Structure 1
Amino acid sequence: MLNFNQQVVWITGASSGIGEALAQAFAQAGASLILSARRIEELERVKNSLPLSPAQVLVLPIDLEKPETFPELVQQVMDAFNRIDILVHNGGISQRGLVKASPLALDQKIMAVNYFGAVALTKAVLPIMLAQKSGRVVVISSLVGKFGTPMRSAYAASKHALHGFFDSLRSEVWRDNIRVTIVCPGYIRTNISINALTEKGDKHNRMDKNQEKGMAPERCATLILKAVAANKEEVVIGGKEILAVYLKRFFPGLLSWALKRFMKPA
């Protein structure tokens, strides 16, 4: 049994998918939680499903495109719990659109949410962890944080950027007992493809076939908690698709051929 007793965990994107599954897993492991996303009704639903008392859960809506609001949100967390032990960056949006058809504004929006939102919230929380001389940042990246695939250029760019920033942060703060874990999920059975943005900025509104057959988010959450408990710096989670990470490292030409052959743009 994983034990996160007396740990205060702040999860963004906690209203569904991996974020909701992480909330359940951390709650069962004894943590107190801050649940953040844009949809307050869904956050309340998640809160009411947790095996925790009301005092152990704070629902705190967040818009990752509005970093100017983050200092006040951090203060609300400190007023409620007086510490932040684990910050989980799970909030974000995906993409299904060709480079040639996607306006720059779409790339900027995805970077604002997925990358700058995580960076800004980390910068708002970091002084607290430095003062505590302890803390952990958990970054939910993706396999496409390791390599790009068709129809996901801005999404892949945002995930690549997260690796660069948080690898650098890890090298700076380890002496302060602050750790960074980057998680690279493959196909997890969530609504990420349904909510992905198209070239026009609309919702994709379709479940990808590979997503539909993917790992259950509850299993993914369990593996993430195990990685955090084991102090892993990076973990890759998924099915046979994770082999692509090793192809990229050792046989990049073969992976490039496979992506062009089997993942043709629509």
Structure 2
Amino acid sequence: MKRAFVTGAAAGLGLSIGDRLKAEGWEVIGLDRDAGDHVRIRADLSSPDGTDRALKEAAASGPYDLVVLNAGISATGRFEEIDAEAHRRVLAVNAEAAMVLANGLVRASSVLKGGSIVFVSSLSHFVGYPGAASYAASKSAIAIYAQSLRKPLKRRGIAVTLVCPGPLRTGQAARHAPEGAKAEARMAPEIAAAAILSAVSGKRFLVTPGLAARGSMLFGRLAPGLASRAMRRLIYDRLDRPVW
């Protein structure tokens, strides 16, 4: 039986990935601070102690054919209104923990030859995210980290996939969305999960699920200034309160 390690497995995209893998006969070792169907390791990745304990337990439960580093949190609002601790937590969970877990699992030989590591970044890597600067920074950091690991890990027989999804229909997205945002405009996490696992199966490096997200990625690459202004109108100008 193939085995996968999935962080942020209690809800949203992580839950959908776990559900799909389990339906295909995989054993899923999920990590989250909250309980869930796939959660076998409970840990808070916002602290170094929590991440270190998570790594130790994850390595002991391996080795894995697939590692999905998906756990993420956000902090939205006017930059100066967001508490400094909230910025620190976002960077710790979204970037530092993913880097530490990837490094630790490879060093412990807990990712099998022929296996894959998936890093979940964000469409914000290409278009920015006014009103969630630390979130965008953390997701860009993990994107560059994944790109930098691609060739070294290939030599070890491990593939890397970078995922840059747009808005998903999750509880977290709803909590951080600006006033009046339409949930139906966001992609269902089940659809994103299917696209991600298809990319992993094909050993593709970059996947941005959905035509709208791919169009936005191209827009951000070709016209970054215009993309930033559009994001400000769509998000920043409509934020009415800080949320973290």
The TM-score with structure 2 as length reference comes to 0.86
Residue 240 (structure 1) aligned with residue 212 (structure 2):
yes
Residue 91 (structure 1) aligned with residue 71 (structure 2):
yes
Change (3 A) 1:19 1:132: closer
CA RMSD of superposed structures (Å):
2.4
> Does 229-238 or 132-141 show the bigger shift?
132-141
Q: Which residue of 2 aligns with 1:223?
A: 195
User: Share of identical aligned residues, percent?
Assistant: 29
Structure 1 residues 6-44: Cα deviation after superposition (integer angstroms, max 9, x where no partner): 32100111111111110111111221110110112xx2x
> Does 132-141 or 156-165 show the bigger shift?
132-141
> What is the distance in 2 between the residues matched to 1:161 and 1:216?
25
Q: Which residue of 1 aligns with 2:6?
A: 11
TM-fit CA distance, 1:132: 4.2
Q: 5+ residue gaps in structure 2? A: 240-244
TM-fit CA distance, 1:264: 4.1
Give 3-state SS (helix, strand or coil) of 2:64's partner: coil
Alignment of 1:35-184 (within 5 A): 35-40=30-35, 43=36, 46-47=37-38, 59-70=40-51, 72-77=53-58, 79-80=60-61, 82-129=62-109, 132-184=112-164
Structure 1 residues 115-158: Cα deviation after superposition (integer angstroms, max 9, x where no partner): 11111111221123478434311111110122212211111011
Change (3 A) 1:74 1:153: closer
TM-fit CA distance, 1:74: 4.5
Give the number of aligned pairs.
238
> What is the distance in 1 between the residues matched to 2:211 and 2:189?
13
Contact 2:43–2:53, Cα closer than 8 Å, also in 1 = no
One-letter code aligned to 2:133: S
The TM-score with structure 1 as length reference comes to 0.80
Contact 2:74–2:135, Cα closer than 8 Å, also in 1 = yes
> What is the distance in 2 between the residues matched to 1:78 and 1:154?
29
**Structure with the greater alpha carbon radius of gyration:** 1
> What is the distance in 1 between the residues matched to 2:111 and 2:163?
26
One-letter code aligned to 2:104: A
Give 3-state SS (helix, strand or coil) of 1:139's partner: strand
> What is the distance in 2 between the residues matched to 1:109 and 1:79?
26
Contact 2:75–2:87, Cα closer than 8 Å, also in 1 = no
Q: 5+ residue gaps in structure 1? A: 1-5, 48-57, 197-203
Change (3 A) 1:136 1:128: farther
Give 3-state SS (helix, strand or coil) of 2:42's partner: coil
Give 3-state SS (helix, strand or coil) of 2:30's partner: strand
Contact 2:7–2:71, Cα closer than 8 Å, also in 1 = yes
TM-fit CA distance, 1:252: 2.5
Residue 23 (structure 1) aligned with residue 23 (structure 2):
no
One-letter code aligned to 1:92: G
